[in-house]
Each structure stands twice: as C-alpha cells, then as structure tokens.
A and B are shown apart, each in its own frame.
Chain A
Amino acid sequence: MTDAIRAEGLVKQFKGKRALDGVDLTATTGAVLGVLGPNGSGKTTTVRILSTLLQPDEGRAEVGGFDVVRQPHEVRRLIGLTGQYAAVDAELSGTENLVLIARLLGFDRSQARARSTELLERFELSDAAGRPAKTYSGGMRRRLDLAASLVGRPALLYLDEPTTGLDPHSRNGLWDVVRGLVDDGVTVLLTTQYLEEADQLADDIMVLDHGRVISQGTPEQLKNHAGNQVLELQTVEPEQLSLATKIIEAVTSSPVTSDTVRARVPVTDAAVLPEVVRRLDEQGVAVAELSLRKPSLDEVFLALTGHTADEETAGATANEGNRA
C-alpha cells in the first residue's frame, strides 16, 4: 500500500449548495499533501470527511485501506486531527487535556501521565503543564492541540489550517514540527490558505476552488504555472501605464494584467528586473513603485482559474462553517 489516502468523486451538499463537487484525492504514504484554497473552497469539508466526522453524499474514500464510511473505527485508530480552531479544553490544564486523550485511547494511568509529560516536554509546554489552557498564548494552544492529536501516535495526521492567525515565529515553529513528523514517517494532509506554507511543507499540492480540484502537482509545477514571483509596477503618471505595460511585456514575454493604476506580471527569472528598469528609464517612464514578490494565492488562482480567490466565497464560507 503506497497511498495513505485515496478518495474518488467526493460530493457533499449543505442545504442545496455543493461544498464538494466531485473531489478526487491521493496522498502518498510518508509524504505531505497540501490542500490549498481560499475560505469556502471545501478544504475543511474534505478533512471532515476523511477524518470520519462527516459522511459524503457521493463518492468514496479510503484511509490506510479502510473505508471512511463503513470502517470508521479502523480509520480513527490511524489518524490524528488538528482543527482550525484549537480544540483543547480551555478549562483544563495542558496535562489534564493530554491525560484525558491518552486515557480515552486506552493508556493506563501511569502510561497516560508519562505520555503527557513526554509530549509537553517535546512541545516546550512543560512550564505551563499545570496551568489551564485558557491562559496559553495562541501559539501555545496550537502546540497543545497538535500534541493532543499525537497522543495515540497516529500514522496519518490531518492539519486543518494549522497556522491561521499565528505570528511568524510560532508559524515557523509549527512548520519545524511538521517536518520532524514527516521525517518520522507520518503522512500529513495539510490544508492552508497560504501558498508559501504549501510551498514550504508539501510534496504535492492540490488546489481546491468551489469544491473542485482545479490543479494538482508538485510545488514547482504549480509555481511554474503561476510564475515564481510577481513583478508589480505603478507609474507616476497613469497615462504612462500602457506604455510601461508594453515594455514589460516585451522583456518578460508573459501576458501582463493591469488595472488603472498597476501592472502585474508573473516572472520566473528575477534577472528581468534590471532589464525592465533600464528600458523604462530609456523610454522616460517615471516609476512610482516597482516590486518583485512571491505570488499570492489570489494570483495563483487568477493564473489557474481566471478569477480571483475571494469571489463568491462569502456564501460558501457560511456553508462550510455549518456543522450540519
């Protein structure tokens, strides 16, 4: 068995709206599958189906060779789940939270203690072990939540937007933890809204939009499609923008998108920047702003779908938040 997760044609409707509209998905054992998409694209619904919390209306999914609908108990023995909202009991201390999970998983009292101590140490929560989780910072709570999902030594870990709302330092810490788990052979399914996060962690990326898979491949393939970086330009005189656009188009030989004030183009080679500057200068275009940056999720979406990520997502988000 080389695929930890295999799903075909998953469909899920909430009140007539299709949260998932035929999703196929494969996660290779020991690898990280990144599921990238904006709010309401169906990421959380996918995770909830694959972790047996929700049943699909159509399609089927196997986790570790077990069917998520017919063999949920077997699936639950293999998985760990860390949700978007840190699902630890805020009233209980770090130790109590972990001991509870361990006891539920069949550890005896002393084993549960030992496992809890071990995990708290590993996640640098030992000093806060006796404090109620409500006194923890956001990053500490996420770490406790992740520790809770690792108590049973899962072979497969679901991370549903693990870094949303975290500061960069905590986020980097969490990334390191995920890398460590992968080194240990754990298969990870990670959902995220951040291209950078998927790029950093995932071996394969699947892009979801309106409940459909719109792209799948390695981070390299995805970025090649959307450009490694984005060159963005604003001219002092708006009238000069069209001239500037022509120049950039000539240098990069990529289609430039522009609105009334800015022009944007995906670039794969940063070396075009000095060339662009030189030509703009030659033509006497006064530049107000010129930058080279990583493409945003929006731009990847634009490249893949022709529409931006945040269109029409408000309604879909309401549906996804619905724990029907």
Chain B
Amino acid sequence: MSAVTSPSRSDLPAGAPAAPGSITPISTVQNGLQLAWRSVLKIKANPEEVLGLTFMPIMFVTLFVFVFGQAMMGDWQTYRDFLMPGIIAQSVVFATLGTGFALCQDVEKGIFDRFRSLPIARSAPLIGAILGDLVRYSITVVMVLVVGLAIGFRPEGGVLGVLGAAAVVLLFAFALCWMSAFVGMMVRTPMAVQSFGMILMFPLTFGSSAFVDPQTMPSWMRVVAENNPVTHLVDAMRGLMLGGDVAGPVAWTLLWSAIFVGVFFPLAVWAYRRRT
C-alpha cells in the first residue's frame, strides 16, 4: 500500500553521527563555503536570476548610452565612457538587495531552521549567503563590462585599472550587503525587502555621480550627491578606469565601506539571532 520503503537497519548506527564533535574556526569556514556553493547552485537553477544577471546590464547600458548620451554630452561615445563606471556601481549596488531577499526567503521557508538544527556554527548560513553573493556581484561586474566592451568601451586604465575598479566595487558591495542582510532580517516577507530596498537604493545610486556630474545639479542636490558614498565609489572607479584622481575617492570608499560594515554587520548578526 505504501509508495515508500522503510529505512533498513544499516541506516542507523544510532548515536554515531558523522558530525564533528565541536565547532572550530576551520569547520565554520568550511560550512560557510559549502553553503556558498548552495547559493551558487541557486543562481544556476533560477532562470529569473540568470536573466536578471545578463539581460539587465545589456538593457541598462544600451538604454542609457543611446537614449541619454547625445543629450548629456553631445555624443554617445563620450557619455558611454563617463557612464560605464557608474553603471557598474549601480548594478552591483542594486544586486546587494538580493542578499536580503534571499536571507528573508530562507527564514520564511524554514530552511534556516534546518541549518540551525544541524551541529554547525550558527553564523555559517550567514557567511555562506554573503560569500555566494560575492559570486553574483562578480558576474554582474563582468556582464556590464562585456556589454560596454561590445559597444566600444576601451578604458585607458587597461586591464589593471579595470581589475582595480572591480576590486573596489566588490569591496563596497561586500560592505553594503550587510545593510541589505539587516533589512532582510528585520522585515517579514521577501517582497517587503524588495520595496524597502528600492526606496534606499534609488536615491543612493541616482543621487550620485553615477549618471550625471554633480556640478550640474542644483546646490542642495549637489551637496547630497557629493557626500553620497556611491559618488566616492564611482569617482574611484573612474579614476582607475579612465584616469584622474584615485587616492582621495578610494580612501573615501574604504572609509564608507568600513562604516557600513561597522554599523550593519553587528546589526545584521543581532537581527539574525533574534529572528532565528
């Protein structure tokens, strides 16, 4: 009558689990990497994610360059070069929303309960999620760059400049994703993460030097834009990719990253413990 056969005796040398006897820093990192592998598998398994990671950069770069380019700077080629660092930063900043979204989803669906009933470090699921997301951010950076290169973007900074800019933006994303993680743990549903995150991310990216030189903005907006962490990030990337001031904006970006980690890492861990 049953579709399921019962587990046999060989299943159960009861009381002899395979799990290690205690949690060590090494086992925590190992478990974190195993859970990061899960996040990467999820990217592969989720067509929407793949579409988002590939189609969005193509769409954004193409639309911004060819719709606004001429009007902004007289010709689209000049605007393309100005825009590329900005749009990489914008794509990655938006991608950090996925961190909070995924964490919220895991808590809501009870997947974290399973992880937490296992003899592994309590922080491992959080570490795994963030490490896995760094892979996602890297894919985003590469995709936007590929689209840029395809429409003739040839950064003066060369390979080193591009790698430097990628390193800076990934570091910033790593810092910012703790804010997303915190939001993900504070609100109840993944949808709420989405809407709340949008309210944060739009001013953060558009109220910066990512798309337009702050010098052209009204004075109050210019003050906002010039003090926006994303402006420092984009300026640093422009310096590295196109030439220009590097040290100042990089230092500011590092400082902002440190602030984000300093504030939101403890908050995210606190919220995670509270929620789970």
**Interface residues on chain B, number (Cβ under 8 Å):** 47
B11 touches A184 (CB 8 A): yes
How far is it, in angstroms, between the C-alpha of A77 and the C-alpha of B37 when the chains are bound?
Answer: 23
Assess A92 versus B9: contact at CB under 8 Å? Given A148-B114, A152-B19. no
* B-contacting 9-mer, from A13-21, A96-104, A207-215, A298-306: A96-104
Which chain A residues numbered 43 to 60 have a C-beta less than 8 Å away from chain B? 48, 51-53
How far is it, in angstroms, between the C-alpha of A87 and the C-alpha of B275 when the chains are bound?
Answer: 17
Q: Is B22 interfacial (CB-CB < 8 Å)?
A: yes
Which chain B residues numbered 27 to 49 have a C-beta less than 8 Å away from chain A? 31, 34-35, 37-38, 41-42, 45-46
Tell me the smallest distance from the CB of A14 to a CB of chain B, in Å. Answer: 13
* A-contacting 9-mer, from B74-82, B83-91, B92-100, B105-113: B105-113
* A-contacting 9-mer, from B117-125, B129-137, B175-183: B117-125
B118 touches A53 (CB 8 A): no
Cβ–Cβ < 8 Å partners of A150 in chain B: 7, 11
Chain A 165-201 per-residue mask, 1 if CB under 8 angstroms from chain B, else 0? 0000110111111011101111000000000000000
Closest residue of A by beta carbon distance from B117: A81
Q: Is B4 interfacial (CB-CB < 8 Å)?
A: yes
Q: Is A225 interfacial (CB-CB < 8 Å)?
A: no
Q: Is B150 interfacial (CB-CB < 8 Å)?
A: no
A85 touches B109 (CB 8 A): yes
Tell me the smallest distance from the CB of A79 to a CB of chain B, in Å. Answer: 6
How far is it, in angstroms, between the C-alpha of A152 and the C-alpha of B17 when the chains are bound?
Answer: 5
Tell me the smallest distance from the CB of B79 to a CB of chain A, in Å. Answer: 38
Q: Is B216 interfacial (CB-CB < 8 Å)?
A: no
Tell me the smallest distance from the CB of A309 to a CB of chain B, in Å. Answer: 25
How far is it, in angstroms, between the C-alpha of A44 and the C-alpha of B27 when the chains are bound?
Answer: 30
A92 touches B18 (CB 8 A): no
Cβ–Cβ < 8 Å partners of B46 in chain A: 91
Q: Is A123 interfacial (CB-CB < 8 Å)?
A: yes
Contact of B17 among A89, A154, A177, A181 (CB under 8 A): A154
B4 touches A184 (CB 8 A): no
Assess A101 versus B118: contact at CB under 8 Å? Given A124-B4, A323-B275. yes
B117 touches A180 (CB 8 A): no
A73 touches B22 (CB 8 A): yes
Contact of B13 among A153, A175, A323 (CB under 8 A): A153
Q: Is B115 interfacial (CB-CB < 8 Å)?
A: yes
Cβ–Cβ < 8 Å partners of A148 in chain B: 114
Which residue, B14, B31, B42, B124, has most C-beta atoms of chain A within 10 A?
B14
A76 touches B15 (CB 8 A): no
Assess A91 versus B7: contact at CB under 8 Å? Given A53-B113, A53-B117. no
How far is it, in angstroms, between the C-alpha of A90 and the C-alpha of B111 when the chains are bound?
Answer: 10
Assess A173 versus B3: contact at CB under 8 Å? Given A81-B114, A100-B38. yes
B4 touches A174 (CB 8 A): yes
Contact of A89 among B1, B5, B111, B113 (CB under 8 A): B111
A87 touches B22 (CB 8 A): no
Q: Is B25 interfacial (CB-CB < 8 Å)?
A: no
How far is it, in angstroms, between the C-alpha of A83 and the C-alpha of B111 when the chains are bound?
Answer: 10
Contact of B113 among A79, A83, A176 (CB under 8 A): A83
Tell me the smallest distance from the CB of B32 to a CB of chain A, in Å. Answer: 10
B35 touches A91 (CB 8 A): no
How far is it, in angstroms, between the C-alpha of A87 and the C-alpha of B110 when the chains are bound?
Answer: 5
* Other A-B pairs beyond A80-B117, A87-B114, 5, CB < 8 Å: A96-B38, A104-B124, A122-B4, A122-B7, A175-B2
In the A-B complex, list the 3 residue pairs whose CB atoms are closest, starting with the nearest: A180-B6, A87-B110, A173-B4
A interface residues (Cβ-Cβ under 8 A, vs B):
48, 51-53, 64, 73, 76-81, 83-85, 87-93, 96, 100-107, 111, 122-124, 132, 139, 143, 148-150, 152-155, 169-170, 172-177, 179-181, 183-186, 323-324
B interface residues (Cβ-Cβ under 8 A, vs A):
1-9, 11-23, 31, 34-35, 37-38, 41-42, 45-46, 107, 109-111, 113-120, 124, 274-276
> Would you mind naming 13 contact pairs between A and B with Cβ atoms under 8 Å apart?
A77-B119, A87-B114, A104-B35, A104-B115, A104-B120, A106-B20, A122-B5, A148-B114, A153-B12, A153-B18, A177-B2, A180-B8, A185-B14
